């Protein structure tokens, strides 16, 4: 089981049920013959603080094999200081480790001035920094495949359309596939990690 802990980009803001990101990632896996379940734990409007506050019942209670953390966009839009966002995401990763939950962190590519020292640059740096610190995979940006194509975004210019979700789901699903395969191998061969070993 893979839990997607996120905000409106995960929850499927403005979309019909079943068209949200987690559901479409699972559909990609199914089409590729991968029997993995994606659980949508996205809540529209959530900040990293909200995600941390509901970690126990949104993540731990589900007992997932893998956690995809896709939070921070609302922090940026609401003016939350980057160090606060960094601390919240770090706390989420710190909770995942002892719970035995493998995590993946999804980055943020803020629009605007990304010159060194800018708020945009400070936010963007949070994600690769934490990925390196905690040794977890880093996916740079959900919206990168569509952010320059207005036809893939809803009228607000922030949220993907159904077609936009389909376009961002495919590369994310592919990125997560090795993580799923690694988890399955670890479960099958918990001692050696090598099923071919005698």
8 counts as catalytic: yes
Higher pLDDT, 188 or 3: 3
CA 135, CA 9: separation in Å to the nearest integer? 25
Other CB atoms within a 10 A radius of the CB of residue 198 amount to 4
Residue among 7, 8, 75, 122 flagged as catalytic: 8
- CATH classification number, 2-188, choose in 3.40.50.1110, 3.30.56.10, 3.30.365.10, 3.10.150.10: 3.40.50.1110
159 counts as catalytic: yes
Residue among 65, 83, 156, 194 flagged as catalytic: 156
Q: Which pLDDT does position 8 carry in this prediction? A: 96
pTM: 0.90
Tokens of 48: 């990293």
Residue 112 has pLDDT above 70, yes or no: no
pLDDT tens per residue, range 41-62: 999 999 999 999 999 999 999 9
pLDDT tens per residue, range 142-173: 999 998 899 999 999 899 999 999 999 999 99
The overall average pLDDT reported for the chain is 91
In 3D space, the residue among 185, 187, 180 whose CA is nearest the CA of residue 28 turns out to be 180
User: Looking at the chain, how many residues does it have?
Assistant: 198
Residue 130 has pLDDT above 50, yes or no: yes
């Amino acid at each position: 089981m893979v839990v997607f802990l996120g905000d409106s980009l995960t929850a499927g803001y403005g979309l019909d049920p079943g068209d949200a990101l987690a559901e479409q990632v699972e559909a990609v896996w199914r089409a590729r013959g991968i029997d993995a379940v994606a659980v949508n734990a996205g809540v529209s409007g959530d900040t990293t603080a909200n995600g941390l506050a509901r970690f126990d019942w949104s993540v731990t209670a589900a007992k997932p094999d893998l956690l995809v953390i896709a939070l921070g966009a609302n922090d940026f839009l609401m003016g939350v200081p980057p160090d606060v966002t960094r601390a919240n995401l770090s706390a989420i990763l710190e909770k995942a480790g002892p719970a035995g939950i493998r995590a993946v962190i999804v980055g943020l590519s803020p629009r605007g001035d990304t010159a060194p020292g800018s708020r945009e640059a400070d936010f963007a740096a949070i994600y690769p920094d934490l990925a390196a610190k905690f040794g977890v995979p880093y996916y740079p940006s959900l919206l990168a495949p569509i952010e320059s194509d207005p036809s893939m975004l809803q009228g607000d210019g922030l949220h993907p359309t159904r077609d936009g979700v389909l376009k961002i789901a495919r590369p994310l699903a592919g990125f997560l596939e090795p993580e799923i395969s690694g988890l399955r191998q670890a479960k099958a061969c918990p001692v050696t990690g090598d099923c071919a070993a005698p």
